Amino acid sequence: MIPVRSLIASLHRSPVAWFIALTLGFQLTIVLAAFALLPAGTRLHDHPDAHMVFRFRVFGPLVFAIGITWLLEGRAGLRRLFGAFLNWRVPLPWYALGFTWKFIVTYIGMLVLAALAIRPWPGTIVEGFLPGLLANMPFIVGIAIVEETAWMKFTVTRLNHRFSAWVTCLIVGVCWGCWYLPMLMLGEGVPDGIPWPVFLVSMFSLTVLLSWTYNETRSGLVLLIMQILSNCAFIMVPVLPGWHELDPAYVVAFVAVFFVAALAILGYAGPQELSTRGERARWGRDAHGAREAASHH
């Protein structure tokens, strides 16, 4: 058994490594446990007990981020972890970006396919999307809070102490994507038909967009809006393979445009800091870059 003092010392040295190992390990364990409960030839939604076990996976990142932060910094760390949600005083264009970015990128991708006659225009909006959107809204908001807190505030800002902004985005984007990978490959918990390499590119691009936005605004609220609207758009716009007999062409076009946009952001804001303010966000520093009282580790 590892002594408690040695465990705490290890957490101080490598909190992000611990977070990633615990999060991915927990995710894989839950997925395997859920599928072990399934009779052959059935899916999760056909088996309530297995589906209930499977649903616990979403809490892993938040629980581990809170737990590690509490052990290292106590209440001060938790205030730092969640405090950015209260920063709402940012210029209105950032809110406009938060509400529209997913629709803009998605429609550009679909327009490119239609203009090149690769695929027909699939329609602007999914007919009758509202009931499904409302039914899924609690989960959409919940997962956005989990991911913004765990992957962005806890992980990105800590890694920004050790790596340049673009390297941090690459590490977090891949690990964040790997959190979804067991579900993606098994066709549960994520939309069917998205090729996994395309999905990982999308997660890297998302991490770049969110990191840049947070570096410029220090607002967790704007990031929360971005992630909520991102998931809403996938219900409202016919881009996912499930709308097209599992044809991934439209979602691949979306990811291609998104990746180009991410590269443009890196070029505009700079790969080192990913910020026109001059300094990327780091754990333990305030909005002006000054060191806060608690250590960042």
**Each residue of 228-258: pLDDT tens digit?**
999 999 999 999 998 999 899 999 999 999 9
| H helical segments located in the chain | 4-13, 15-36, 48-55, 60-83, 92-115, 130-147, 157-159, 165-186, 196-217, 220-236, 249-269
pLDDT at residue 288 is higher than 50: no
For the chain, the domains span 88-269
pLDDT of 107-146, one tens digit each?
A: 999 999 999 999 999 999 999 999 999 999 998 999 999 9
- Cβ contact 265:274 at 8 Å: yes
Paired residues of 285 in beta bridges: 291
pLDDT for res 30? 82
pLDDT-derived band at 214, boundaries 50, 70, 90: very high
pTM over 0.85: yes
pLDDT for res 291? 55
Share of the chain above pLDDT 90, in %: 72
Please give the C-alpha separations between residue 165 and each of 215, 233, 257, 272, in angstroms, as whole numbers.
10, 27, 21, 5
- Cβ contact 110:121 at 8 Å: yes
pLDDT of 42-81, one tens digit each?
A: 666 666 666 666 777 888 999 999 999 999 999 999 999 9
